[in-house]
Structure 1
Amino acid sequence: MATHALFESASGYAIFDIKLHENIGSHVKAVQDSINDLSKFGKMVTLVSFSPFKNAADALENINDISEGILSDHLKSLLELNLSKPKKGSKIVLAVSEVGLANSIFENLAIKCDASETSQEVLRGIRFHAPKLLKGLDATDLIKAQLGLGHSYSRAKLKFNVNRVDNMIIQAIALLDQLDKDVNLFAMRIREWYGYHFPELVKLVPDNYQYARIAQFIGDKETLTEEKLPELAILLEDDSTLAQNILDAARGSMGSSISEIDMLNISAFAARVVSIADYRKSLVNYLSEKMNLVAPSLTALLGERIGARLISHAGSLTNLSKYPASTVQILGAEKALFRALKTKGNTPKYGLLYHSSFIGRADPKHKGRISRFLANKCSIASRIDCYSGNSTTPPSTYPLLKTPR
């Protein structure tokens, strides 16, 4: 049974001497009943020493050591000062709340430690009556210290590795999907708006991004001349034939004339569409770099877009790593799954994984098996990315993913 107790508070370390341990040690229920009564519990424990922390940084450093099961120099000196080194037949046993810390104390100081249920109940009583047992400490001061240390500890954990924060991936893929919709919508608008003036350009330039750049460059079709053909060809990826066709179409266009103020608004809108499209390209590069840093295995398996959508749909990479392969397989098809369960129909075979190239290349009769096999690989890859301490560099292709015969 424990003869002493180590209490870790937000203000410092305290060592208590446990009395009547032989009587209360075998009756855990008796300990539980006497904890709430200070008059009874005060007879069980006596304060031996209390060593406060120097400042908030020292408290944060010590609490990090406790959470990782490391014996700090502060705690080591306190134990050496108050608990003599045990000799043969010594009965000194220290009650400790953390098993990892208890092992470190025994390895470094050879002090026997106990983390049994009885010791935990005694420590719970000390924590409950700490403001009255620790002389010189007010209850409000102890609560403020606990609150401040809790905030500092949480902030330190969040800032542990800023490069592997998957929240940025979730926001980036959401913004990328929104930009795709906006660019397509704005491109349709610029085609319709500029088409009143130059309708033939729609069939000559089918690409939305190129169309916006060409509309911004040409402006009023009457100003398009032979001198502008080299610059127009550069915008068309050095296609001089297409540039000449646009010039010929502009000369014989059936479009209506347009005022200067209207053309200024159309040009400004075209410039805004081009800027949004350019930003979308930079966002794709950012997402690719972030995915290769946070989830390299999942990225090599599925690509940046699909891997990011899986992480976003799961809420985080940690949540995705906890999902079984059967859940990963239908992630994104929840409505179809519940509808099938309600109508007793066929359940979906894939969700977001349908966009993977492995499933796209497979025969229709093999898509279900490939989806199940791919979900298993995704589950393993996400766990490697989430829990691996070192960054991995997976191969560009996975030879095990083959279409079943």
Structure 2
Amino acid sequence: MSFFVLYESASGYALLEVMEAEEVGSLLEEVQQAVLDPQRFCRTVKLKGFQPFTTAENALENVNAISEQIVTDDLKNFLEMNLPKVKKSKSASFQLGCIEPGLASAIQDRLGFPCRSDETVKEIIRGIRVHFHRFVKELDGGVGEKAQLGLGHSYSRAKVKMNPARSDNMIIQSICLLDQLDKDLNTFAMRVREWYCWHFPELRELVKDNYMFARCAAYIKDRAAFDEEKLPGLNEIVMDEELAAAILKASRHSMGMDASPVDMSNIVTFCERMVKLAEYRRDLYAYLVDKMGIVAPNLAALIGDTVGARLISKAGSLTSLAKCPASTVQILGAEKALFRALKTKGNTPKYGIIYHSTFIGRAAAKNKGRISRVLANKCAIASRIDSFSDEPSTKYGDELREQVEERLKFYDTGEAPRKNISVMEKVAAEIAREGGEIAEVCTPSSQKKKKKRERKEEDEDAVAAVDDAPSSKKKKKKKKKATA
């Protein structure tokens, strides 16, 4: 039986025939020794055919198809032209060796050629790769290496290219920027209070909110120039007439030091910058909410926009989060505590990023670990639905949130929550109804119930056929009543 080997190089397809097929197939060690000896290897393997790629685009197209285990038209025509023809009535008198088992299966399914992929084939192809310039003389002198380098750059660039439809990257960047802005705003707010309170210390006790304090400082400026004419503008900032009047009264009897125009100009400029930064932070949060509603609506409906975005950021992408099991989602963000516990053989953490969810804060101390496990399970389900669904919807997320609420009630009152499969069936039926689909929702439980019902009906019919006529009539009547 003849034995051929398919070799996919950067310059084209090559088909080589192994002359000593039986010995090569049985003795793997001899193949490895033959690879090291060029003359012996060239006597063992002979070039049957070579088809170069026409252009760089053609080479990239064929390599991409091979990596995805697809038989292209170029590969199909090349194999049919160089391999012996296979008759339908007889079995093939040859075998084709491929380095990839998936490609071998694809060739065998589409063309009907018997293929194999084992360690012997891999060793032969390793030798072909080393001595390929001896079989195709045109590739000698560095031409083959240049083709490999050019194709490698094109293939890598096509694989690493950013996907414009990947919106979860925008969520990752937004939540990281939001966290950084929160830290910076807290630092700036402390600096604004400390700096301006040297001039107007009474404002610290009257205005507690940092954002409002910065707006008041930027509006009042020098307290000596603040009078009743500016009071309406201050009312619009603090949204309280009594508070505005109290600020005006405190400015007239303040114990703060006077500031020069240059110092006050710097203080006001810094306050205005902080106010603009706080407003930008608010706009960025609105942008994050919109993105979460598009990319991960169910996860946002279940656990909130901020916590859901932090989970996606920690996992690296929505797809990576969907691949994580619930046990990994539960401790995302607590890696240091986990490894420290494993090292010291202590108690492992119960929660990570999901601790910021309101569900864990509402649970009793003894139930925090249990509710975190339930919440991580629901987050894993929601992320998988968001990652693989075509149309975004919050229906699953809302029902999953209600399930977590029911679990909290179960810990307090003992009322049993709904099962997950029943909830999924309900939401799937609602979505099918809204989409105008009349087809029955296929779930594992519904299929099992349907098969069980059909099996029961068949058993009843068999029993009715064996029994006498009167009893069978009664059973038929019962059956009619049951169906009615």
Structure 1 length-normalised TM = 0.87
Bigger mean CA deviation after superposition, 192-201 or 142-151: 142-151
Query: Residue 307 of structure 2 corresponds to which residue in structure 1?
Result: 306
Residue 164 (1) aligns with residue 172 (2): no
Query: Residue 350 of structure 1 corresponds to which residue in structure 2?
Result: 351
The CA deviation string for residues 196-225 of structure 1, in whole angstroms up to 9 with x for no partner, is: 222222222211112112211221223333
Distance 1:138 1:32, change over 3 A: same
Higher relative contact order (CA 8 A, sep 6+): 1
Residue 62 (1) aligns with residue 62 (2): yes
2: CA distance, partners of 1:334 / 1:299? 23
Alignment of 1:125-204 (within 5 A): 125-138=127-140, 140-159=142-161, 161-164=163-166, 168-204=170-206
Query: Residue 474 of structure 2 corresponds to which residue in structure 1?
Result: none
Alignment of 1:166-315 (within 5 A): 168-236=170-238, 238-314=239-315
Whichever residue aligns with residue 363 of structure 1, its letter is A
Q: 1:194 offset after TM fit, Å?
A: 0.9
Distance 1:2 1:209, change over 3 A: farther
CA RMSD of aligned residues (A): 2.8
Alignment of 1:46-85 (within 5 A): 46-85=46-85
Residue 400 (1) aligns with residue 407 (2): no
Tell me the SS of whatever aligns to 1:97.
Answer: coil
Distance 1:304 1:80, change over 3 A: same
Distance 1:117 1:170, change over 3 A: same
Name stretches of at least 5 consecutive residues in structure 1 with no aligned partner: none
Whichever residue aligns with residue 40 of structure 2, its letter is K
Query: Residue 362 of structure 1 corresponds to which residue in structure 2?
Result: 363
2:92 to 85, 90, 93: 90
2: CA distance, partners of 1:267 / 1:221? 12
Distance 1:322 1:185, change over 3 A: same
Whichever residue aligns with residue 60 of structure 2, its letter is L
1:104 to 103, 106, 115: 106
Q: 1:346 offset after TM fit, Å?
A: 4.0
The CA deviation string for residues 138-178 of structure 1, in whole angstroms up to 9 with x for no partner, is: 36332333233233323322336333275554444333222
Q: 1:2 offset after TM fit, Å?
A: 6.0
Distance 1:330 1:110, change over 3 A: closer
Q: 1:294 offset after TM fit, Å?
A: 4.9
Structure 2 length-normalised TM = 0.74
Whichever residue aligns with residue 258 of structure 1, its letter is A
Q: 1:95 offset after TM fit, Å?
A: 1.6
Bigger mean CA deviation after superposition, 345-354 or 265-274: 345-354
The CA deviation string for residues 316-338 of structure 1, in whole angstroms up to 9 with x for no partner, is: 55655555433433333344445
Query: Residue 378 of structure 1 corresponds to which residue in structure 2?
Result: 379
Distance 1:170 1:160, change over 3 A: closer
Distance 1:392 1:101, change over 3 A: farther
Whichever residue aligns with residue 24 of structure 1, its letter is V
2: CA distance, partners of 1:258 / 1:212? 17
Bigger mean CA deviation after superposition, 142-151 or 322-331: 322-331
Query: Residue 44 of structure 1 corresponds to which residue in structure 2?
Result: 44
Count of aligned pairs between the two proteins: 403
Q: 1:188 offset after TM fit, Å?
A: 0.9
User: Which of the two has greater helix per residue?
Assistant: 2
2:2–2:17 contact (8 Å) kept in structure 1: no
Tell me the SS of whatever aligns to 1:17.
Answer: strand
Bigger Rg over Cα: 2
Whichever residue aligns with residue 250 of structure 1, its letter is S
Whichever residue aligns with residue 135 of structure 2, its letter is L
1:60–1:153 contact (8 Å) kept in structure 2: yes
The CA deviation string for residues 87-124 of structure 1, in whole angstroms up to 9 with x for no partner, is: 23432332222233233323333322222332222222
The CA deviation string for residues 273-297 of structure 1, in whole angstroms up to 9 with x for no partner, is: 1222223223323444444555444
